[in-house]
Amino acid sequence: MKFDYDLFVIGAGPGGLAAAERAAGYGARVAIAEQDLVGGTCVIRGCIPEKLMSYAASFSELYQQGVGYGWKQPQTTFDWHQFMTAKNEEIHRLSDVHKRSLEKAGVELIKGRATFINPHTLDIRPLQKRNSLTGETPIPQEFLEKSIEGRQITTEKILIAVGGEAVKPQIPGIEHAITSRELFDLKQQPKHVAVIGGNYIAVKLAGIMRMLGSFVTLIVHEDGILSDFDADISRAVTQGMKRRDIQIINNTSLKKIEQIDGEYLHLTLSVTSPDALIVDTVVCVNGRAPNLSGLNLEAAGVKVSKSTNCYVQVDASAVDDENRTTAANIFAVGDCTNQVTYTPVAIANARAFADTHFGNQPQTISYECVPSVVSFFPEAATVGLSEEKAREKIGDSLRCNRSEFRPLFHSLAKREEKVLIKLVVDSTSDRVLGIHMVGLGAIEIIQCLALALRMGATKKDFDATIGIHPSVAEEFFALV
């Protein structure tokens, strides 16, 4: 049978884009369907707007630090509308960059929603939704190009890269809450925001919003924030958030939301509080689900597995080491799968898929040394095993080297802001199993040290490395 395409990709996010361009580079006939702006969650309503917002928030502390270095305290205010306008312009610019990359690679971009008819046939329908950047304005005509009414296409292989969506708990009044998707598009800055969740996304958003000037209450179902990370990371980030006057309520779930006077929200929690919790914005960051609804996966023979994510039950597309689903010719990458849900992981898996199935270069991805960013204010990052996970794995062979200190940057400002650095080591082999940091420069430093971890660096290797003085990173090479 002759197919219209060698590969059809559903979803033009980071994973879909990487696979489409790599496969086309091997000479494959490739098309990609997208019903929103090109770029996916990461570009439109995830990593990029979040990072831009964190940059905006960082000026708040820089202005305060400047006084200790001789700068007069400036009169500053944050213009939410100006930031949102600039942020949206940058997102559209990045989306256009990705569109041009597809065109240059020879990938056909089809604006529309794809659904399965059978394992090799898809039905493409025109866009019938609003612009995700505004939630109100219909998608401009420029984004409706190549919309096709009821076109059916055939393809040898299909890659599902539709990403995931934030979900909200099913409680009374939940219609008054938003997710991170809507947070990045609010017309007005919240005065007091309640963030529901204790995972790394919730913690990052709480820190960002506080440093932009909003009051923040973090409502956490577990004993504390960042329960999946090293306990020292959780402790240090918690201390840093409290220093910034972020209220954290642990062992608590949201039971009901009631609107007051059309402006404020009264929250009923699972714990008894002497003071009523009244806010103007509730952001739910306690669960995500693969965006698989409406694909008609049953018609293609793609089965999904059940997994629990905090309060919600979600469907996850189970894939093997080659990113193959239960249908032989259908594959999946990114947040719609049971893989690690980070953008770089989706890109790596997408390229490995294209290398394997179109480049005759079989590739598999290792998840052992994938770094994570767990907070922005204070900044934190980690790679490898936590102390708790390492203890489960190697028992009494575990050794931890840690240090907490005030970095030079904070000295003149007389701030009691500490940096935490930590190495988790197997004392038998001397190999470093985990690297953790909270404080100034954590993200960039851990990104580089991830390579050392992947290459099997030992504690002796760290000790023998000469650092740059004065710097925060050099302290990793002087741990005792």
Instruction: Give pLDDT tens digits for 389-413.
Output: 999 999 999 999 999 999 999 999 9
Q: C-alpha 227: how far from its chain's center?
A: 17
CA distance 439 to 378: 6
225-273 pLDDT, tens digit each: 999 999 999 999 999 999 999 999 999 999 999 999 888 999 999 987 6
The whole-model pTM stands at 0.90
Write out the two tokens for 94.
């990045």
| Confidence at 306, pLDDT banded by 50, 70, 90 | low
**Could you give the CA distance from residue 261 to residue 60 in angstroms, rounded to a whole number?**
32
pLDDT confidence of residue 187: 95
Lowest mean pLDDT among 103-112, 335-344, 433-442: 335-344
pLDDT at site 423: 98
Residues 218/323, Cβ–Cβ less than 8 Å: no
Phi and psi angles of residue 156, each rounded to the nearest 5 degrees, phi first: -70, -45
* Two structure tokens written together for 208: 């960002």
Query: What is the average pLDDT across 378-392?
Result: 97
Question: Judging by beta carbons within 10 Å of its beta carbon (0-12, 13-18, 19+), is residue 101 exposed, middle or buried?
Answer: middle
User: 206 is written with which tokens?
Assistant: 């709480």
Residue-range domains of the chain with CATH: 5-46+81-164+289-358 (3.50.50.60), 174-285 (3.50.50.60), 378-477 (3.30.390.30)
Q: Coil, strand, or helix at residue 314?
A: strand
Confidence of residue 347 (pLDDT cuts 50, 70, 90): very high
- For the segment 141-196, what is each residue's pLDDT rounded down to a tens digit? 444 444 445 689 999 999 999 999 888 999 999 999 999 999 999 999 999 999 99
Task: Give the pLDDT of residue 281.
Answer: 98
Q: Which amino acid is at 66?
A: G
Lowest mean pLDDT among 102-106, 371-375, 422-426: 371-375
Catalytic residue IDs: 469
Query: pLDDT of 16-69, one tens digit each?
Result: 999 999 999 999 999 999 999 999 999 999 999 999 999 999 999 899 899 999
CA pair distance 192, 351, nearest whole angstrom: 42
Q: What are phi and psi of 183, to 5 degrees?
A: -60, -40
Confidence band of 301 (pLDDT split at 50, 70, 90) = very high
Cβ contact 480:401 at 8 Å? yes
Percent of the chain surpassing pLDDT 70 = 92
Structural tokens at position 410: 């904070």
Q: How confident is the model at residue 128 (pLDDT cuts 50, 70, 90)?
A: low
The pLDDT of residue 379 is above 90: yes
Check whether 312 has a pLDDT greater than 80.
no
Q: Which of 84-88, 138-142, 249-253 has the lowest mean pLDDT?
A: 138-142
Largest CA distance in the chain: 75
What residue has token string 């000026």?
59
Please report the pLDDT score of residue 362 as a whole number: 94
Position 136 scores a pLDDT of: 42
Q: Exposed/middle/buried for 268, CB within 10 Å: 0-12, 13-18, 19+?
A: middle
Tell me what pLDDT residue 436 has: 98
Q: ∠ CA 444-246-417 to the nearest 5 degrees? A: 50
pLDDT tens across 443-477, in order? 999 999 999 999 999 999 999 999 999 999 999 99
pLDDT band at 289 (very low <50, low <70, confident <90, very high): confident
* Continuous segment of H or E residues that includes residue 267: strand 264-269
